[in-house]
Amino acid sequence: MATSAAALVAGVVVVQVADSSTPAYAATPEPLQVQYSGDAPMARDALLRLAAALEAAPAPAQSVGRFSFVRVGQWSLDMSFSKGSTDVAMVPQVISTWRAADGSGKVATVNLDRSDLEQRPDAEGLLAAAAGSVPDVNTYGPGELAAVVADPVPTDANALEQALYAHQPRVNGAKSAVRAVADLYRTTEVDQNVRVAVLRFLARTDGVLLRGAVTDRLSRHGLAVSVDSDNGGTRDILVFDQRTGLLLAYESMFLRRPERLPVRVPAVHAYVLYLDQDRRADTT
């Protein structure tokens, strides 16, 4: 199974903010427009319905190959503090990962900065810059490229729960469940049986709320669920394709402004768009 995207929305802005009672604010993306932005219901029933529909659907043809391949586009706030000021950079990347079951593989990262996009800080500009850039490539021998969950990824929800909480500790609450799922999709081709297990795992996780219908930053329609944590200070959102059950996007936002960080809340400080996933015979 493979997903692809034709556009990626991101930008680069660098703001230097001296300590002040009236700081200049860094530009951040607008939050996603969700169906339930206020009092959201629990996500359990919606997730179980999606899992059941996916389980009843014909299994898609499985791609074959030694390497699990995943490509993501991601944007994150990068900040540094120096001499009473805060430097904030909004940094986009495109990351491609090939990983074999023995932990060998390759990661190719296109890092984009302000000069790459200052003329065209839009979707086409980012993709054009990424396509025309030489990626930073790292290769890994057996055992050197760790997976979030070792192959084969469990298709039983109980076993998958144990594996995901070994990566993101259960003690940190429901946000660990959401973040572990986001991390799983970053490094592993997730087949239909695992997608069902992921949905069932989230359905029984206390604190996962339904945000409903949403259009992600690639104009893909999906079902959003979220977890609020840190006493209401942060929100993590997952967006799933309602046809395939694949994860389309992950976002993290501040609902309360952290000290010394010049952003207006709610502020999206990171997002990941899942662009492609399949299996490949080699790392080219």
The pLDDT of residue 270 is 84
CA-closest candidate to residue 14, choices 86, 105, 108, 122: 86
The pLDDT value recorded for residue 239 is: 98
**How many angstroms separate the CA atoms of 212 and 50, rounded?**
12
d(CA 172, CA 39): 23
Domain boundaries, the chain: 14-280
pLDDT score recorded for residue 82: 55
How many CB atoms within 10 Å of residue 72?
A: 22
Q: Return the SS3 of 101.
A: coil
Q: Determine the residue type at 113.
A: D
pLDDT on residue 74: 83
Contact predicate 205/174, CB 8 Å: yes
Please list the pLDDT of the chain residue by residue as tens digits (284 residues).
444 433 333 333 333 344 444 455 556 778 899 999 889 999 999 999 999 999 999 888 888 899 999 999 888 776 655 555 556 666 788 899 999 999 999 999 998 765 665 655 554 556 677 787 889 999 999 999 999 999 899 999 999 999 999 999 999 999 999 999 999 999 899 999 999 999 999 999 999 999 999 999 888 999 999 999 888 788 999 999 999 999 999 999 887 777 766 677 787 888 898 999 999 999 99
Q: Are 213 and 219 in contact (CB under 8 A)?
A: no
Q: How far apart are CA 260 and CA 164, in angstroms?
A: 33
Q: Longest C-alpha distance within the chain, in Å?
A: 60
pLDDT, position 167: 96
- Helix (H, G, I), strand (E, B), or coil: what is residue 64? coil
Total length of the chain: 284
pTM comes to 0.86
CB 177 within 8 A of CB 205: yes
Q: Are the C-beta atoms of residues 240 and 182 closer than 8 Å to each other? A: no
Query: Is 100 within 8 Å of 280 (Cβ atoms)?
Result: no
